[in-house]
Chain A
Amino acid sequence: MTGIRNVSTPPPTHLLHAVLDATAEAVLLCDDQGTILLANAAAHRLLPGLLTIREITDDPDSFDRELHGRPLRGRRQPVDDAHDVWTVHDCTDETARLAAIAEERERTAFLVEASRRLSASLHRGRCVRTTVELAAAHLADAAVVVLPPARHRVEWVRAVTGSRFETGVMKERDAESVPGLSEALAGFPPVPSRWLDQTQVPASLLPAGFGEIGALLVTPLPGNGVPAGALILARRAPGAFAESEELQARIFAARAGGAISAAVLYQDQVETTAILQADLLPPDLPHIDGLELAGAYRPAKDAARIGGDFYDAYPRTPSLSPSGTDAETMVVLGDVVGKGPKAAVLAGKVRQTLRALRLLEGRPEPLLRVLNQALMDPRDRTRFVTMVLASMVRDGDGWRVTAASGGHPPPLILRARGGVEAVPARGTLIGVTGPIRVETATVRLGPGDLLLLYSDGLFEARGGVGGRDAYGEDRLADSLASCRDMPAAAVVERLEQLVSDWINGAGHDDIAMLAVRVPPRISENGYHPASFRRAR
């Protein structure tokens, strides 16, 4: 590089003019009054007909103003006492770029805000409301979210800028008349705004006072495979949505759709779990004449581990056929292997099967054998249930109890005179092996005697001083012995309390108990019959 060589003799005037005209900026030579003495080509283009710089600025040194729709920036450079050079720059491009950047920032900020608000909830209704509120506040004058049609009806949620959301339902036919909506609900890519005829929108889509729709945009809310719905944007100002606005609406719709479909999935799961759990909840025990019944169910702490403990009590049921025998009173308590929905489903199956079977076969032993056959699943021979069944028949002032165990800890009896005995019912767990061993035991419950069925969660509850010791069968028997003379409900409550103290807030398996007590003779210790009732 040799650098710029300044010539000592100036080039001819026409060449100097050519140099000036070659610059993009307007260049003006003015006298000390501002009168323009010389202007280059750019100056003639930007400032046509200008005679003096004073016409466009009072400031002696600089100006920033718009002229003929162009943002201009002028700067004065003194040449000598009598002359100034003004350069005027056309800022149209920079201004547009800055505006674009600001707009982009605003859009990004909106999307960030939208994502934040949309992810704040796993409730479908709230996600949809948030979607219309955000869209009405930032993207259009009105926004409507239309949910996928169900039974020829279409649910919608809408909001007009500045007012609260509304919800409603319209006929599927009306929804189909909204331009582009059927396509959006079918998951097709959005039709460009300029192709949508906003005059075809049914009047019911927007509130009565909204007025004429100037522009319409319909975008799918993408879901998991199928759309979660569609977003309709309406603007009063005529003229289609710009491409950048359509793009922003699509990005927003993608996020909103994701949030809504996640909420739907979550809700489905919650509902499924709730249905399964509802089936496992302890039943309202029936009233059975001459017995006090009390149950307690304490599911494992971890909600995801809904367990498989259950109990039921069936009152004596008249035979379905005139020749048959009546189904005797029966109590049952069982424990299905594992936790979670799988265990819940199996527990539900066991309960339903049992409910039906007992009407045909009331004797505990054959009942367990049939149940075992019914539950055997050749594909999965590791699922099982352990249970205790007790059939009860009135016997004078007490009851004769025939108990059978399918691999379950033996029921305990608390005698009215004191002392706890185990009912010697033994057997194989249900659902694993073809022929099972069942040894039934028959015992008599006299007035004031109490029969306790319980799940192994009770004596396996870990706690105590070291926090790891099982409550144990012996401790359970001792605890039960301390419940003499108590009504069934109180016994269950006390045992629950004792185990609760033992585990002291630590995690535990499901714990289920069912206490069945023959009311004591009133004359014996002054019991009033009314006090039996609350044991239900």
Chain B
Amino acid sequence: MIDDSPLRIHQSHPDKTTVILSLSGDLDFDTAEELVDHAGRALTPGISSLSLDLSGLYICDSSGLSALIHISQEARGLGATFAMTGITAQLRRILEVTGLDSVLGTAAHDDDRAGAHS
């Protein structure tokens, strides 16, 4: 079951140039800034790929979307690729409604894990 802690971020490095942030919990007004800060610190020189695993996200509100936009822009601004995986059906619906799927490039990054959740 989902526990009560709002947002947990787990950082992993499959290789030297790749960062994966696995999120679980709620990405909302209270936690969005925490994620932006965390991602900012993770984007050290030499990182060429930032990936967010969102399969554990329970809530993503408009502040959460804003954080995702911010991070994608920051990553691309630093020349790194940005990707989101593990998009739940609910989040996919939100991304579709807001048109963010094309802005964040998730339409092109549709992967199997996202499909597994729907």
Among B59, B94, B99, which residue has its beta carbon within 8 angstroms of that of A437?
B99
The complex places the Cα of A406 from the Cα of B102 at a distance, in Å, of: 14
The complex places the Cα of A340 from the Cα of B62 at a distance, in Å, of: 13
**Chain B CB within 8 A of A301 CB:** no
Contact assessment for B97 and A428 in the assembled complex, using a CB-CB cutoff below 8 Å? no
Q: Which residues of A contact B59 (CB under 8 A)?
A: 460, 462
Task: Take A382-B66, A384-B69 as given contacts and tell me if A429 and B61 are in contact as well, using a CB distance cutoff of 8 Å.
Answer: no
**Chain B CB within 8 A of A494 CB:** no
**Chain A CB within 8 A of B98 CB:** yes
Among A336, A382, A406, A460, which residue has its beta carbon within 8 angstroms of that of B70?
A382
Q: Which of B51-80 contact A (CB under 8 A)?
A: 58-59, 61-63, 65-67, 69-70, 73
| Nearest Cβ on chain B to A308's Cβ, whole angstroms | 8
- Against B, the Cβ 8 Å flags (1 = close, 0 = not) of A301-333 are 000010000000000000000000000000000
The complex places the Cα of A436 from the Cα of B103 at a distance, in Å, of: 9
Contact assessment for A305 and B98 in the assembled complex, using a CB-CB cutoff below 8 Å? no
The complex places the Cα of A287 from the Cα of B98 at a distance, in Å, of: 31
Task: Take A381-B69, A382-B70, A432-B69 as given contacts and tell me if A305 and B61 are in contact as well, using a CB distance cutoff of 8 Å.
Answer: no
Among A338, A433, A436, which residue has its beta carbon within 8 angstroms of that of B62?
A338
**Chain B CB within 8 A of A124 CB:** no
The complex places the Cα of A382 from the Cα of B99 at a distance, in Å, of: 14
The complex places the Cα of A369 from the Cα of B94 at a distance, in Å, of: 21
Contact assessment for A337 and B63 in the assembled complex, using a CB-CB cutoff below 8 Å? yes
Contact assessment for A436 and B99 in the assembled complex, using a CB-CB cutoff below 8 Å? yes
The complex places the Cα of A468 from the Cα of B6 at a distance, in Å, of: 13
Chain B residues bordering chain A, tally (CB within 8 A): 23
- Against B, the Cβ 8 Å flags (1 = close, 0 = not) of A485-509 are 0000000000000000000000001
Contact assessment for B69 and A428 in the assembled complex, using a CB-CB cutoff below 8 Å? no
Task: Take A382-B70, A408-B97 as given contacts and tell me if A335 and B102 are in contact as well, using a CB distance cutoff of 8 Å.
Answer: no
**Chain A CB within 8 A of B2 CB:** yes
Q: Which A-chain residue is minimally distant from B28 (CB atoms)?
A: A509
Chain A residues bordering chain B, tally (CB within 8 A): 32
**Chain B CB within 8 A of A426 CB:** yes
| Nearest Cβ on chain B to A304's Cβ, whole angstroms | 11
Contact assessment for A407 and B100 in the assembled complex, using a CB-CB cutoff below 8 Å? yes
Q: Which of A456-484 contact B (CB under 8 A)?
A: 456, 460, 462, 468, 470, 473
Q: Which residues of A contact B97 (CB under 8 A)?
A: 386, 405, 407-410, 426
Contact assessment for A429 and B102 in the assembled complex, using a CB-CB cutoff below 8 Å? no
- Against A, the Cβ 8 Å flags (1 = close, 0 = not) of B79-110 are 00000000000100110111110110000000
**Chain B CB within 8 A of A400 CB:** no
Q: Which residues of A contact B62 (CB under 8 A)?
A: 335-338, 384, 386, 456
Contact assessment for B102 and A428 in the assembled complex, using a CB-CB cutoff below 8 Å? yes
Q: Which residues of B contact A305 (CB under 8 A)?
A: 29
The complex places the Cα of A383 from the Cα of B100 at a distance, in Å, of: 13
The complex places the Cα of A428 from the Cα of B102 at a distance, in Å, of: 9
Interface centre among A337, A339, A427, A473 (most CB of B within 10 A): A337
Task: Take A407-B100, A429-B98, A437-B102 as given contacts and tell me if A337 and B2 are in contact as well, using a CB distance cutoff of 8 Å.
Answer: no
| Nearest Cβ on chain B to A433's Cβ, whole angstroms | 5
Among A338, A381, A429, which residue has its beta carbon within 8 angstroms of that of B63?
A338
Q: Which residues of A contact B29 (CB under 8 A)?
A: 305, 338-339
| Nearest Cβ on chain B to A434's Cβ, whole angstroms | 10
Given contacts A426-B99, A432-B103, 7 further A-B contacts (CB under 8 A): A338-B29, A382-B73, A384-B69, A386-B62, A409-B97, A456-B94, A468-B58
Report which B residues bind A (CB closer than 8 A).
2, 29, 58-59, 61-63, 65-67, 69-70, 73, 90, 93-94, 96-100, 102-103
Q: List 8 A-B contacts (CB under 8 A).
A: A335-B62, A337-B65, A339-B29, A382-B73, A406-B99, A426-B96, A427-B99, A460-B61
